Structure 1
Amino acid sequence: MTENKNISTSLNKVAFETVDIFGIIKKLLDGDSDGICLLCSDLEGCWQLFKSQFKIQKAAGGKVLNFKNEVLFIYRFNKWDLPKGKLEKGESIEECAVREVEEECGITNLSIENELDTTFHIFERNNTVILKITYWFLMKTTYNEKLTPQLEEGIEQVVFKNKIETEDALKNTYENIKLLFL
């Protein structure tokens, strides 16, 4: 979504006010569309209206670096991913990010360095279309023991990857994760 009507994109540009949001989402979820660029004159107003169409799920996670500057990855659903999870009631975004990384990876000694970009993705569960908003943090750790994947969450592996291994992992990850490495 953008206010820039001259944006350079290969996506079809459509005025936000004229679209059927759920029609677009259905095409995206069914794989019948690669995407669309929504144009609007009031970005904040359009964004609030767009979000109001969905059930919102907030989550947080981390791009964790160890003392060798390696990145912590999880392997789940046949893709490399970064650890993250749902915000619990009464919990801050930062608390959620640390808790989820600890739970999913069996790691401790995490410190948040700074906030990274927030990512958004849409999925369908039980006939409900959900907009997941994930808050990301750059974290560091001094942890140097065995990592333990949270098997009940479908996590098969937890590993730190060096620069070359990270580049390879990014070939088999989600587009939103790639954004955190730009």
Structure 2
Amino acid sequence: MYKVFVNDKPLFLTNQVEKETDFQMFLLEGVDIEQLIIKMFNNKVGKAFLYHPDEKEMLKKLKEKIPVVKAGGGLVYNKQGEVLFIFRNGKWDLPKGGTEKGEDMEETAIREVEEETGVTGLKIVKKLPKTYHVFKRGGQYKLKITTWYEMKTSYSGKLTGQENEGIEKVAWLNPEEIQQALTNSYENIKLLFEKVEAKLGQ
């Protein structure tokens, strides 16, 4: 099953037929995806399931219906075990951004973390689960697929938020502060932390 967030509301891709209770279910092959997304953005649908019998095909089918933007990002730890966060648009987020021509995803993730936070000396430790969310740009809905990497750094210099990206604040947060920040974050960031092992002392 895949979990795609539309305006922070879950859209599940599933190969199981679920009994409808607090959500609506649609056939992935037949759904007017734009109409469904508009309803979710306008709070007319709170949660939806898209059914397709073949789990391997469902993401491909969704990509056929909506343009895809690929991004890379980092869950970055320093030597104190704190995690690097950015504050933008009134919410705590992790540094990430779109891939540029000729880059592989690891290069994208490292470059974006450096640009958005000023942190250098990044080393990728391992790949983390991808996150999926729909956003609107230039009047068109797009599916952003972000590949996340756990990174580490011994950087202890100044944190500099990328102003032209609207980043107001960059901070290293300890486990307690992370829990607080996640109460004012995005659902796919919360999901990423749920999937990351109990490294944060949970």
What is the DSSP-based 3-state SS (H/G/I as helix, E as strand, rest coil) of the residue aligned with 2:109?
Answer: helix
Query: Aligned residue for 2:189?
Result: 177
1:95 aligns with 2:102: no
Deviations 1:52-86 (A, max 9, x none): 11221110000101111111000000000000011
2:169 to 147, 152, 157: 157
Q: Aligned pair in 2 of structure 1 residues 103, 7: CA closer, same or farther (>3 Å)?
A: farther
Q: Percent identity?
A: 46
1:59 aligns with 2:71: yes
2:28–2:61: 8 Å Cα contact kept in structure 1? Answer: no
What is the DSSP-based 3-state SS (H/G/I as helix, E as strand, rest coil) of the residue aligned with 1:80?
Answer: strand
1:115 aligns with 2:131: no
The equivalences for 1:12-27 within 5 A come to 12-27=24-39
- d(CA) in 2 for partners of 1:107 and 1:54? 34
Q: Deviation of residue 180 (structure 1)? A: 1.2
What is the DSSP-based 3-state SS (H/G/I as helix, E as strand, rest coil) of the residue aligned with 1:109?
Answer: coil
Aligned residue pairs: how many? 182
Query: Aligned residue for 2:159?
Result: 147
Query: Aligned residue for 1:31?
Result: 43
TM-score, with normalisation over the residues of structure 1?
A: 0.94
1:11 aligns with 2:11: no
- How much is the aligned-residue C-alpha RMSD, in angstroms? 1.6
Deviations 1:134-170 (A, max 9, x none): 1100001100111111111100100000011000000
What is the DSSP-based 3-state SS (H/G/I as helix, E as strand, rest coil) of the residue aligned with 2:102?
Answer: coil
1:29–1:123: 8 Å Cα contact kept in structure 2? Answer: no
2:58 to 42, 46, 52: 46
Consecutive unaligned residues of structure 2, counting only runs of 5 or more, are: 1-12, 195-202
Deviations 1:90-146 (A, max 9, x none): 000000000000010001111000011101111111121111111100001100111
- d(CA) in 2 for partners of 1:153 and 1:86? 12
1:85 aligns with 2:97: yes
Q: Aligned pair in 2 of structure 1 residues 165, 12: CA closer, same or farther (>3 Å)?
A: same
Amino acid corresponding to residue 93 of structure 1 in structure 2:
M
Amino acid corresponding to residue 121 of structure 2 in structure 1:
N
Name the stretch that deviates more: 114-123 or 2-11. Answer: 2-11
Consecutive unaligned residues of structure 1, counting only runs of 5 or more, are: none
- d(CA) in 2 for partners of 1:140 and 1:131? 28
Q: Deviation of residue 49 (structure 1)? A: 1.8
Q: Deviation of residue 4 (structure 1)? A: 2.0
Amino acid corresponding to residue 79 of structure 1 in structure 2:
K
- d(CA) in 1 for partners of 2:83 and 2:41? 30
